[in-house]
Structure 1
Amino acid sequence: MDDLKGRLVSRALGEGFVACRVCKPSDVPDMPERLRAFIEAGYHGQMGWMADRMAWRGDPSALWPQARSVIMLAESYAPEYDPTAVLELPEKAAVSVYAQGRDYHDIVKKRLKRLARWLIEQEACEVKVFVDTAPVPEKALGQAAGLGWQGKHTNLVSRDWGNWAFLGAIFTTLELPVDAAEADHCGSCRSCLEACPTDAFPAPYRLDARRCISYLTIEHKGPVDLELRGKMGNRIYGCDDCLAACPWNKFAVAASDMRYHGGVGAPDLAELATLDDATFRTRFSGSPIKRIGRDRFIRNVLYAIGNSGLAKLAPVAKSLADDPDPAVADAARWAMGCLTAK
């Protein structure tokens, strides 16, 4: 199997992945307790699906008992620009780097399927592929397989490619040689923790999603707490602050697929606020942004407008004050109050 694994790694790199490592489904024994503590603290917020499938999410071997190995892969989407520069442009919308282009689920899954088909051709086996589409603890498995370690911001970090990477997994019935788990190399660094605009980290390696801008703009339904709205700035979909702050990004590897970049950019907030459901769906077809729907998206845009400090955007907010969606109407009135306050 050593020869097969060597050829597998070469094939994976040829597909565009920056790293390929192997672990066993049972190599994350502390995951159930970590997940239980996260849920009991209420850090998952409205993400009820995390609590609903705790047995699978906490124990990968329960997801598919026949699996003997987990092939973990990383694909870089590192930006070639400073993703925090847009935060200084109040008229513009800040969109997370990972959502700038085509939906990564589609791109990575196709690569995984090609690699899985190749593996089956080499050795009779069964496979299942996952890209953030099932209760699989990708980051924990990534550390167990040696791709990197879960940093203080809870994302996977590598000394070879930083922290701008999508993770994918191939579960297989093959018994492949495993790699050594990666050690933690964060040291005393607190850059990611200090960069968070909403203080979403109650402690290093612990994230309270209820305060995370990525969660608030993507997963959270309804109005956002008043305390947090002003801290969201012009971020309308996701947040890259903790990722961008990581010093290990000096080793970031350029994205192998240009479809991850371009397309969205930093559009004008005033223009985005005019989107109705049809134009929203058309504009963001094929983008991960589409999944949050027009209402949540416009809610986020209005929070950004309220945070802009630009009185000229007050009429834009006013035009949405009677929107059929209660959260949008509430956000519009809040934005108007922010921009007209003496």
Structure 2
Amino acid sequence: MPQGVPPNPIAPQHGPRPLPLFLDMLRSETAQSPERRRAALAGLARYQSAHRPPRDLDRPEAARAGRTVLRDHGGAGPPVVFVPSLINPPFVLDLDPQASLLRHVAAAGFRTLLVDWGMPDAGDRDEDVTGHVERRLLPLLDALGEPAILIGYCLGGTIALAAARPAGARALGLIAAPWRFTGFGPKARAEIAALWAAAEPACEALGMVPMEVLQSGFWRLDPARTIGKFAALADADERTLAAFVRLEDWANAGAPLTLAAGRQMFEDFIAADTPGTGEWRVAGERVDPSALTCPIVDFVSLTDRIVPAATSVALGDRREVGAGHVGMVVGGRARAVLWEPLTDWITAVARPR
């Protein structure tokens, strides 16, 4: 770590996780271009040494289920509960005052709440994704005392969809949410299976799936882009650098998955496609999206490399978005392509029927 850089609780390494894999990718992707390699290393150095103002991540606690907390992000009126992925921290939905889907929804007149999954420990190793639905999300929703509008992002959308029927959700919004995991395609699924086969013994010993395992999988989806974004940072202005640091710190942070959640995600979801084939059971029943009677909207990115459009549930009001997996939430066009249409939809479904 460069001298003089203050500790940061979000990204204590101030660099990609895991750095050795990043350097291997750098050598491979820039073998024929020393200039690009120098630019990527210069960008990495700027990222590592950048100033990081403290973040206020504390929000009032509305309900708790063990380590998992429902945090109140303000607003009044009907409750809208945002369910983030188990991968990466939830604050991407409230990245800063100018890039916050949650603040936008709260300002529109809704009580806006965010699930904070918390940090698992060794005692949680046997809690799979199903357990997160049954023992964490459903009790939090029940504590509200009234049906909520559920909005799930990425794997959080998969989880929200599974919770919608047993929770009696008022409506369900999905953002880049995978359901039909065969939509990742045979090549990507084979690469993910190989990644899990290599990582599983160490994860078994730890009782956790470290973020580094998941991050390396994301990088393999598009290594050229991973190197390219650091190369572009070499000559970026200070405003671009600050925005990059906020987002990259989020991408490099995150709690580990419990062993059982990681195993279910890799083996049952991605390899066997239990959600897409109707074999996933939650609260004693198979999860059948077609049985939902509440309003559903599904925002699907057409340029998503992490959750391809082919994985969507293909149900309800499908909105195709010309922005990437993260860009649709916090990018320069996020307000137009997601925040405003989602808030308009929430307003419509929240009207008394």
TM-score > 0.5, shorter chain as reference: no
Q: Give the alignment's TM-score, normalised by structure 2.
A: 0.24
Q: Give the alignment's TM-score, normalised by structure 1.
A: 0.24
Structure with higher Rg: it is: 1
